[in-house]
Amino acid sequence: MAAPKFEVPKLTGYAETPALKEGATAHVKSFPASEPVQAVIGFPGGLVEDWHDKAIAKMGDLLGRYRSLRVFMDACVHCGACTDKCHYFLGSGDPKNMPVARQDLMRQVYRRHFTFAGKYFPALVGAKDLTEDMLQEWYTYYYQCSECRRCSVFCPYGIDTAEVTMAGREILDTVGIGQKYTNEIMGKVHRIGNNLGLPGPALANTLEGLEEDIFDATGAPVKLPIDVKGAEILLVTPSADFFSEPHVESLIGYAKVLHAAGASWTFSSKASEAGNFGMFIGSYENMRRAALRIREAALDLGVKRIVVGECGHAWRVAYSFWNTLVGVGTGGEDPFSIELQKQLDPRYPAPQHICEYTYELIQQGKLKFDKSLNDHRVVTFHDSCNVARGSRMGDIPGGQFIIPREVIKAVVNNYYDMAEETIGESTFCCGGGGGILSDDLMEIRVKGALPRMEAFNNVVQEHKVNFMALICAICKAQFTKVVPYYGFDMSMVGGVHQLVSTAILLEKEEE
Ligand code: SF4
Ligand code: SF4
> Which ligand 1 atom sits nearest the alpha carbon of residue 150?
3
Residue 157 CB–ligand 2 contact under 6 Å: yes
The minimum-distance atom of ligand 2 relative to the CA of 158 is 2
Residues 314-343: tens digit of each pLDDT? 999 999 999 999 989 887 888 999 999 999
pLDDT greater than 80 at residue 509:
no
Residues in Cβ contact with 141 at an 8 Å cutoff, skipping those fewer than 6 apart? 96, 97, 102, 105
Position 277 scores a pLDDT of: 96
Q: What DSSP element (H or E) covers 325? A: helix 312-326
Closest CA to 388 of 339, 412, 433, 423: 423
pLDDT recorded at residue 333: 85
CA of 79: how far to CAs of 99, 101, 117, 147, in Å?
Answer: 12, 12, 21, 21
Q: Are 362 and 356 in contact (CB under 8 A)?
A: no
- Given a contact cutoff of 8 angstroms between Cβ atoms, the answer to whether 74 and 68 are in contact is no
Three-state SS annotation for 461-499? HHHCCCEEEECCHHHHHHHHHHHHHHCCCHHHEEEHHHH
Whether the ω angle into residue 451 lies within 30 degrees of 0, i.e. cis, is no
In this prediction, residue 199 carries a pLDDT of 85
Residue 468: its pLDDT value, please? 98
Q: Which residues pair with 467 in a beta bridge?
A: 379
Strand partners, 470: 495
Residue 511 has pLDDT above 70, yes or no: no
Looking at residue 2, its pLDDT comes to 64
| pLDDT at site 345 | 96
Does ligand 1 have an atom closer than 6 angstroms to the CB of 149? yes
Model confidence pLDDT, tens digit, residues 80-114: 999 999 999 999 999 999 999 999 999 999 999 99
pLDDT-derived band at 200, boundaries 50, 70, 90 = confident
Mean per-residue pLDDT for 38-46? 97
Q: Is 35-178 CATH 1.10.1060?
A: yes
Residues written for the chain: 511
SS3 370: coil
Centroid of ligand 1 to alpha carbon of 88 (angstroms): 8
* Residue 291, pLDDT score: 95
Report whether residue 119 contacts ligand 2, using a CB cutoff of 6 Å.
no
Coil, strand or helix at 333: coil
Hey, whose CA ends up nearest to atom 3 of ligand 1? 86
Q: Is the CB of 78 under 6 A from ligand 2?
A: yes
Please check the confidence at residue 1 and state whether its pLDDT lies above 80: no
Give mean pLDDT, residues 407-423.
98
86 lines ligand 1 (CB under 6 A): yes
Higher-pLDDT residue of 192 and 299 is: 299
Contact assessment for residue 427 and residue 383, using Cβ atoms and an 8 Å cutoff: yes
Q: Whose CA is nearest to atom 5 of ligand 2?
A: 78
Average pLDDT, the chain: 96
Q: Which atom of ligand 2 is nearest to the CA of 75?
A: 3
Distances (CA, A) of 399 to 122, 281, 405, 410: 47, 28, 10, 16
Q: Are strands 305-308 and 233-236 parallel, antiparallel or unpaired?
A: parallel
- Strands (E) in 362-484, as ranges, are 379-381, 467-470
Q: Buried b vs exposed e over 68-94: b needs ≥16 C-beta within 10 Å?
A: bbebbbeebeeeebbbbbbbbbbbbbb
- The reply to whether ligand 2 has any atom less than 6 angstroms from the CB of 98 is no
Q: How would DSSP label each residue in 258-309?
A: HHHTT--EEB-STT-----TTTTTT-HHHHHHHHHHHHHHHHHHT-SEEEE-
Nearest-CA residue for atom 1 of ligand 2: 155
Specify the pLDDT at position 290.
94
Residue 103 to residue 448: CA distance in whole angstroms? 18
What residues does each domain of the chain span?
Answer: 35-178, 192-360, 368-503
Residue nearest to atom 4 of ligand 1 (CA): 86
Report in angstroms the alpha-carbon separations of 42 from 65, 163, 166, 223, 419: 19, 21, 17, 39, 44
Whole-prediction pTM: 0.96
Question: Of 427, 434, 451, which is closest to residue 154 (Cα–Cα)?
Answer: 427
Percent of the chain with pLDDT over 70: 99
User: Residue 372 has what pLDDT?
Assistant: 98
- Pocket probe for ligand 2: among 77, 79, 84, the residue whose CB has the most ligand atoms within 8 Å is 79
In 3D space, the residue among 145, 40, 67 whose CA is nearest the CA of residue 445 turns out to be: 145
Residue to probe by mutation, ligand 2, list 76, 107, 110, 150, most atoms within 8 Å of CB? 76
Residue 376 has pLDDT above 90, yes or no: yes
**For position 70, what pLDDT does the model report?**
97
179 three-class SS: strand
Report the alpha-carbon distance of residue 136 to residue 140 in Å, rounded: 6
Nearest-ligand number for the alpha carbon of 164: 1
Alpha-carbon distance of 397 to 415, in angstroms, equals: 22
Q: Is the CB of 441 under 6 A from ligand 1?
A: no
Q: What is the mean pLDDT of residues 164-178?
A: 98
Q: State the distance from the centre of ligand 2 to the C-alpha of 150, rounded, in angstroms.
A: 12
Confidence of residue 117 (pLDDT cuts 50, 70, 90): very high
Best mutation site among 25, 72, 88 for ligand 1, i.e. most ligand atoms within 8 A of its Cβ? 88
Average pLDDT over residues 427-450: 97
Alpha carbon of 161 to ligand 2 centroid (Å) = 10
Average pLDDT on 241-251 reads 96
